[in-house]
Amino acid sequence: MKERYDFRELEAKWQEEWEKNLLYKVTERGDKPKYYALEMFPYPSGNLHMGHVRNYSIGDVVARFKTMQGYNVLHPMGWDAFGLPAENAAIKHGNVHPSEWTWSNINNMRRQLKAMGISYDWAREVATCHPDYYKWTQWLFLLLFKNGLAYKKKAAVNWCPSCATVLANEQVVDGACERCDTIVEKKDLEQWFFKITAYADRLLDDLQKLPGWPEKVKIMQQNWIGRSTGVEFNFTVENTGEDIPVFTTRHDTVFGATYLVLAPEHPLVEKLTAGTPHEAKVREFVQRVRQLKEMERTSADTEKEGIFIGAYAINPMNGEQVPIWTANYVLMDYGTGAVMGVPAHDQRDLDFSRKYSLPVRIVVQPLGEQLDPETLVTAYDEEGFMVNSGQFNGLPSEEAKERIADHMEQQQIGRRRINFRLRDWLISRQRYWGAPIPIVYCQGCGAVPVPEKDLPVELPLKVEFKPTGDSPLTTNPDFLNTTCPTCGKPAKRETDTMDTFVDSSWYFLRYCSPDAPEVYDQAKANYWMNVDQYIGGVEHAILHLMYSRFFVKVLYDLDWLDYEEPFQNLLTQGMVLKDGGKMSKSKGNTVSPEEIIAKYGADTARLFILFAAPPERDLEWSDQGVEGCFRFLNRVWRLVYNYVPQLEGVSLYQDEELDVEARNLRRALHAGVKKITDDITQRFNFNTGISAIMEMVNALYHYKDQVPQEQQYLPLVKEGLWLLTHVLAPFAPHITEEMWQALGGSGSIHQRPWPKFDPAALVQDQVTIVVQINGKVRDRVQVPANLSASEMEQEVMSMDRVIRLLAGKEVVKVIPVPDKLLNIVVK
């Protein structure tokens, strides 16, 4: 028997062998269906963590399994390599350039990934910080620019003082920077935006085309896009006659408006108070509110506060005069920055009205109830029947909505309108380590796109890393100063770089043709896309996944791609926990993948992480669990090498007659293959798949130890070990390769077809039937399979135990479940 399971030697050997033979290299081909398996590429922080190991182990099983099932599988890997940590390292240590830092991290992490034995086609590796890549990121910026989807505007933007850069709306979490938790400030800056709002409807509606996405992620995107349908109509300022447009989704309650509220930033607040006795107090209020941090301002817990500005407006529906207020709870950047206050039917308005003693008027009454405006504490925001609403009285509120909208449109008071919560995507970053925005500013010509032939606009190496709030690129005059591509006069380059989410919004397309002399080869992209299975953390539910969907839709519209959605199926893997909490450096509960691999090998690490929990659930790390998986692989190893000498020259099982023990073994083996296949195909339940493999191993051990050696049927054992190595191969690729070779297999096991189970082997001639009396299990009995209901009943009724238990009772009913169960109902 071969010595022990020396995973160190064996894993290194096979990794080298696979690389030498280009085992995982793929090209487009017509003879097999394609399958694109993709895991979210990592930021090269320096070392793999367990979350990566889990992500890539899941992806590798999918890729290897699909390969064995006969698909032509694309399984690439790369690096999301631009971003702040590299630059912060440069600021902190002074002597290490972000480029150097990043590339050395990439080299280290590539080595770690290779040590995991994952089946990547490394020839397709991309790194977003490489000029060959960001050249095309810049090209895509220009494509959007030319199509009116990239524009510059001055806006109050989110500014992180610690990162010294602006942030996209999506990168602000609870009013703080998603990266460093610093409270975000508002700053008025000229910045570049992508017009993602132009795709709001499609980004929302097309979620329905993604049945292979988790409901949770779709709902998160849906909420983020936040479509609401309503009307926009004008109140008119009394005396001065200015229009104040308001947006509402509850136009059925328009007769219940008893006041109007403007956001503190609303231009009319200043205008209508100028020179009036209210001016000073209102200005003081507005300044106080504007000084509040974003978080305090927008939190629902913040007490509603406001002030009457001294003017009145006319409700166009009933000609009524209502006071105009300004208040902290109305936001300038949603809708029109002005809302009608309907206290009876909106809780916020009711709270506000009670505080400032504003009138409350019921205009929708629930069926069979009479709300009292004097005592109302909970606003009634459901459907009902119209009251106090002129010509609309008596209508159901839903119908009144339509009629009022019609009326407004006919009378040209207002119009139906859809509003989105989604904002345009702010992509400018005042940082160095990103793709430069390919724009030149010329005094005469304005913002001029860099011509395609001049791409990439390369990042200069020589800059100063100081977090000043200006891009470090401003410190390099050779970069900054250029000539206008249009008129040739001196001009300045844009010094901001792009948000790194731009880089990652299209990398899956570049993988299809990593060396293409254009953004990607259309034919190849159309061959490989969509990604059949995308796997990654749920933290990307909104940002990355929505931006990528946006990019793909733009490319689809511009005839660059035949597909409208990038990711057909999405699996969001759970976190890796230790001691009940997420593994993190600050908690000090991390486990190093590198150490685990050194101690037990990659096969054990992969097996454990797939066995410990289903992929979408959180996984509790257990050192003892790892130990158990290591023991299991050793157990498999001993089993195989115990038989290797005996199996020499033995042919594979071919349908011969088997004795009882052998038949039981064969049934267990084929039942195992069936279960693993189902578990992977139907729901990626690798944990139960692995448990089925363990049962196969247990069955083989049982046969080996319980049946005298001279009676063991070796052709069947050979079949068993063949099946075993094949189904284990996607999970533990190295050890199975080694054992396959030892068992006389030719070629790589990873290029073998996935085994089919033999339905004939599953047939049982005896089955165990559960005997229940009044639904309680009382006994079990062995009977021939396929008995009819009455035969079953006859068998059961003649059992001693059943006769005893039924003595003196009256049988009311007998419920038979063929080959499974018989329930006797008695009184």
Partner RNA sequence: GCGGGUGUGGCGGAACUGGCAUACGCGCUGGACUUAGGAUCCAGUGGGGCAACUCUUGGGAGUUCGAAUCUCCCCACCCGCACCA
The residue range among 386-394, 649-657, 683-691, 791-799 that interacts with RNA, by the rule CB under 7 A, is 683-691
The residue range among 93-101, 743-751, 788-796, 813-821 that interacts with RNA, by the rule CB under 7 A, is 813-821
Provide the minimum distance between the beta carbon of 775 and RNA in the complex, in angstroms, as a whole number. 3
The residue range among 105-113, 215-223, 315-323, 785-793 that interacts with RNA, by the rule CB under 7 A, is 215-223
Question: Whole-angstrom Cα distance, residue 674 to residue 692?
Answer: 9
99 belongs to the binding site for RNA (CB under 7 A): no
Interacting residues with RNA between 396 and 455 (CB under 7 A): 419, 421
Question: Whole-angstrom Cα distance, residue 701 to residue 694?
Answer: 11
Quick one: 435 or 633, whose CB is closer to RNA?
633
Interacting residues with RNA between 597 and 616 (CB under 7 A): 611-614
Q: Which residues contact 662 (CB under 8 A, 6 or more apart)?
A: 703, 713, 716
Interacting residues with RNA between 759 and 788 (CB under 7 A): 768, 770, 772, 774-777, 780
631 belongs to the binding site for RNA (CB under 7 A): yes
Select from 99, 197, 249, 642 the one that contacts RNA (CB under 7 A). 249
Cα–chain-centroid distance for residue 705? 48
- The pair of structure tokens assigned to 555 is 């490319």
Sign, CA dihedral 800-805-811-815, equals negative
Longest dimension (CA), the chain: 110
The residue range among 128-136, 226-234, 561-569, 731-739 that interacts with RNA, by the rule CB under 7 A, is 226-234
Provide the minimum distance between the beta carbon of 591 and RNA in the complex, in angstroms, as a whole number. 15
Quick one: 77 or 307, whose CB is closer to RNA?
307
Residues paired with residue 528 on neighbouring β-strands, in sequence order: none
Provide the minimum distance between the beta carbon of 682 and RNA in the complex, in angstroms, as a whole number. 8
Provide the minimum distance between the beta carbon of 429 and RNA in the complex, in angstroms, as a whole number. 20
Select from 624, 651, 711, 782 the one that contacts RNA (CB under 7 A). 624
144 belongs to the binding site for RNA (CB under 7 A): no
Select from 111, 209, 216, 355 the one that contacts RNA (CB under 7 A). 216
Quick one: 667 or 675, whose CB is closer to RNA?
675
Interacting residues with RNA between 478 and 537 (CB under 7 A): none
Provide the minimum distance between the beta carbon of 534 and RNA in the complex, in angstroms, as a whole number. 18
Q: Which residues contact 379 (CB under 8 A, 6 or more apart)?
A: 343, 344, 345, 346, 347, 349, 350
Question: Whole-angstrom Cα distance, residue 57 to residue 609?
Answer: 8
340 belongs to the binding site for RNA (CB under 7 A): yes
CB atoms within 10 A of CB 682: 8
- Say if residues 650 and 715 touch (Cβ distance below 8 Å): yes
Select from 107, 287, 299, 798 the one that contacts RNA (CB under 7 A). 299
Provide the minimum distance between the beta carbon of 233 and RNA in the complex, in angstroms, as a whole number. 11
Residue where the block lists tokens 């088997």: 658
196 belongs to the binding site for RNA (CB under 7 A): no
Provide the minimum distance between the beta carbon of 691 and RNA in the complex, in angstroms, as a whole number. 4
Question: Whole-angstrom Cα distance, residue 808 to residue 803?
Answer: 10
278, amino acid identity? H
Provide the minimum distance between the beta carbon of 328 and RNA in the complex, in angstroms, as a whole number. 5
Quick one: 579 or 656, whose CB is closer to RNA?
579
Quick one: 777 or 785, whose CB is closer to RNA?
777
Provide the minimum distance between the beta carbon of 212 and RNA in the complex, in angstroms, as a whole number. 16
Closest CA to 605 of 627, 634, 574: 627
The residue range among 368-376, 401-409, 551-559, 818-826 that interacts with RNA, by the rule CB under 7 A, is 818-826
Interacting residues with RNA between 549 and 608 (CB under 7 A): none
Quick one: 91 or 805, whose CB is closer to RNA?
805
> In angstroms, what CA-CA distances link 362 with 56, 177, 690, 779?
59, 43, 63, 68
Quick one: 303 or 382, whose CB is closer to RNA?
303
- The pair of structure tokens assigned to 788 is 């009819």
Cα–chain-centroid distance for residue 6? 38
Q: Which residues contact 656 (CB under 8 A, 6 or more apart)?
A: 715
825 belongs to the binding site for RNA (CB under 7 A): yes
CA angle 598, 599, 604 (to 5 degrees): 95
Quick one: 71 or 334, whose CB is closer to RNA?
334
685 belongs to the binding site for RNA (CB under 7 A): yes
Provide the minimum distance between the beta carbon of 721 and RNA in the complex, in angstroms, as a whole number. 16
619 belongs to the binding site for RNA (CB under 7 A): yes
On the CB side of 707, CA atoms within 13 Å amount to 19
620 belongs to the binding site for RNA (CB under 7 A): yes
Quick one: 215 or 765, whose CB is closer to RNA?
215
Residue where the block lists tokens 């157990």: 635
Question: Whole-angstrom Cα distance, residue 482 to residue 497?
Answer: 17
Interaction pattern, residues 704-723, with RNA; x per rule: CB under 7 A:
-x------------------
The enclosing H or E element of 399 equals helix 397-410
Residue where the block lists tokens 């889990």: 54
Interacting residues with RNA between 251 and 280 (CB under 7 A): 263
What angle do the packed helices 602-611 and 686-706 form, to 10 degrees? 110
The residue range among 300-308, 353-361, 452-460, 546-554 that interacts with RNA, by the rule CB under 7 A, is 300-308
Question: Whole-angstrom Cα distance, residue 96 to residue 86?
Answer: 9
346 belongs to the binding site for RNA (CB under 7 A): yes
> In angstroms, what CA-CA distances link 424 with 46, 168, 548, 587?
33, 9, 14, 36
Provide the minimum distance between the beta carbon of 647 and RNA in the complex, in angstroms, as a whole number. 20
Select from 1, 22, 173, 789 the one that contacts RNA (CB under 7 A). 173
By the 10 Å C-beta count (0-12 exposed, 13-18 middle, 19+ buried), 497 is classed as buried
Question: Whole-angstrom Cα distance, residue 421 to residue 269?
Answer: 24
Quick one: 690 or 743, whose CB is closer to RNA?
690
- Say if residues 218 and 443 touch (Cβ distance below 8 Å): no
Provide the minimum distance between the beta carbon of 669 and RNA in the complex, in angstroms, as a whole number. 14
SS (H, E, C) 576-599: EEECCEECCCCCCCCCCHHHHHHH
Quick one: 145 or 731, whose CB is closer to RNA?
731
The residue range among 81-89, 481-489, 633-641, 652-660 that interacts with RNA, by the rule CB under 7 A, is 633-641
- The pair of structure tokens assigned to 355 is 């505080």
Question: Whole-angstrom Cα distance, residue 737 to residue 735?
Answer: 5
Provide the minimum distance between the beta carbon of 33 and RNA in the complex, in angstroms, as a whole number. 25
Select from 485, 701, 744, 745 the one that contacts RNA (CB under 7 A). 701
Quick one: 695 or 793, whose CB is closer to RNA?
695
The residue range among 133-141, 223-231, 437-445, 644-652 that interacts with RNA, by the rule CB under 7 A, is 223-231
Residues paired with residue 536 on neighbouring β-strands, in sequence order: 572
Sign, CA dihedral 41-45-48-51, equals negative
The residue range among 112-120, 140-148, 296-304, 459-467 that interacts with RNA, by the rule CB under 7 A, is 296-304
Question: Whole-angstrom Cα distance, residue 244 to residue 314?
Answer: 10
625 belongs to the binding site for RNA (CB under 7 A): yes
- Number of residues counted as binding RNA (CB under 7 A): 87
Closest CA to 194 of 547, 552, 556, 558: 547
What angle do the packed helices 733-742 and 714-728 form, to 10 degrees? 150
